[in-house]
Amino acid sequence: MDFGSHTLEKARRFYFPNNSAYILLEAILPQTGTVVFGCVGKGVGYDYEYFAYKGELNLDDFRMDDGNIVAQPKLVNHLATKQHRVYKFNDKEFRHSIYGGAKSKRTSEIDFTVFKLEHISDARSFQQVLTKTLRLDKLNSSDVKDYLLKIFSRELPNSSIDFKQEWEKAFQDINLEREQYLAVLNNLETIQELEQKFGRTLSLRGKIAVSQLNVNELLQNWHGHVQTLTENLSTQKTKLEQTQRELRSQDIARAGERTDLTNKLEELNRIEMQRQELEERFTLIPDQSFLESQLKAAEQKYDSQAALCVQSQRSSSVAIGKQLKEKEDQLQSLHSQHQTLGDNLYLHLSKVLNVDELEKLNKVLSQRVMLRSIRLTSISFDTCSMVNLLSNSRFQV
């Protein structure tokens, strides 16, 4: 081993001053699992001994019940109480065990190989390189070349080799792994995102697998429900179509009835309008007898007019003219009577004369005079003198 500026004797005195001094290392091996490598001092001449066991490192396993550190003679029995089987090694056995060399019968049960070397003879060079690497010492090209020449000396016919080619060949896998590492590092976010998606995918697959039976059962129930519902809907559709046809027939029949009722309603409206017109026209007519009397009078006038027409055919134009003049005079007289119906001489005298006196006066005066208006004429007379005159017995008509 290389302890830098310190000699091996000084290093042994420093690390193993007594039989309770330990150097311990926990490692996780792919083929074995977690193991513990240790080196314990023997207490005599600062010597030391290698040991190893399978399990996790727990510093309390190296303490006694009183808290003191377990001494080297009691180590195997004490760790046995902690369920750890301890394997002891000398320098050669420990190197073979670490670098994958031939194992003794005692170590055949557990594989403690940490660095798998094809040739155990290369362990010295590998150990030197590893020690410098762990201590962060510089490796110059000459050192690397010397180490490589020692390792590959058995495979070369001479010591003359292409160093660069062997270097690249030796570190080909490392460079490839480095490139892969850098690629992963550059795409770390994407890889983490893919990892999360993959995790969600696995979770969803698990949920789907768990829910598959329920989904299948639900799908079967759904298909049965759909089939039953389809049959029911088909039956309802048939019934509705039949009902629709019946309703259409009824609608056609009702449409015909509606047309007839509309025509009847229009006829009734027309009759009602005629009734209202007639009602307005005959509002002032008291009863049917009045209309019958008017009809009878109209018929009499018609008959008289017809008789006149017959007579006109028998009479001459002179006679007809004379009759026409009489009718006009009669019409004018009636018109005058109508105008003086509420204000004439007859009404005025009837208020101051009795019946006999009025009768006598009618025999003296003409009808035209008696019907003249008092307001529209300048007639004036002494009422008392007229009464005395009419009451005189000598006044005779």
111: left (phi over 0), alpha (psi -120 to 50) or beta: beta
pLDDT at 341: 57
Q: Say yes or no to pLDDT of 230 above 90.
A: yes
- Residues 345, 379: contact at Cβ < 8 Å? yes
pLDDT classification of 307: cutoffs 50, 70, 90? confident
Q: Residue 222 — φ and ψ, nearest 5°? A: -65, -45
Per-residue pLDDT, averaged over 67-89, amounts to: 91
Per-residue pLDDT, averaged over 186-211, amounts to: 90
- Residues 151, 125: contact at Cβ < 8 Å? yes
- Residues 13, 43: contact at Cβ < 8 Å? no
Q: Say yes or no to pLDDT of 351 above 80.
A: no
Amino acid letter, residue 71: A
CA–CA separation, 308 and 318 (whole Å): 15
Residue 309 is encoded by which pair of tokens? Answer: 């027409």
H or E element that contains 305? helix 288-314
Of residues 380 and 45, more confidence is placed in 45
How many CB atoms within 10 Å of residue 348?
15
pTM: 0.37
Of residues 266 and 353, more confidence is placed in 266
Q: Say yes or no to pLDDT of 115 above 80.
A: no
Looking at residue 284, the DSSP 8-state letter turns out to be: T
| Largest interatomic CA distance in the chain | 212
Amino acid letter, residue 255: A
Looking at residue 374, the DSSP 8-state letter turns out to be: S
pLDDT classification of 374: cutoffs 50, 70, 90? low
CA–CA separation, 155 and 265 (whole Å): 128
pLDDT at 372: 64
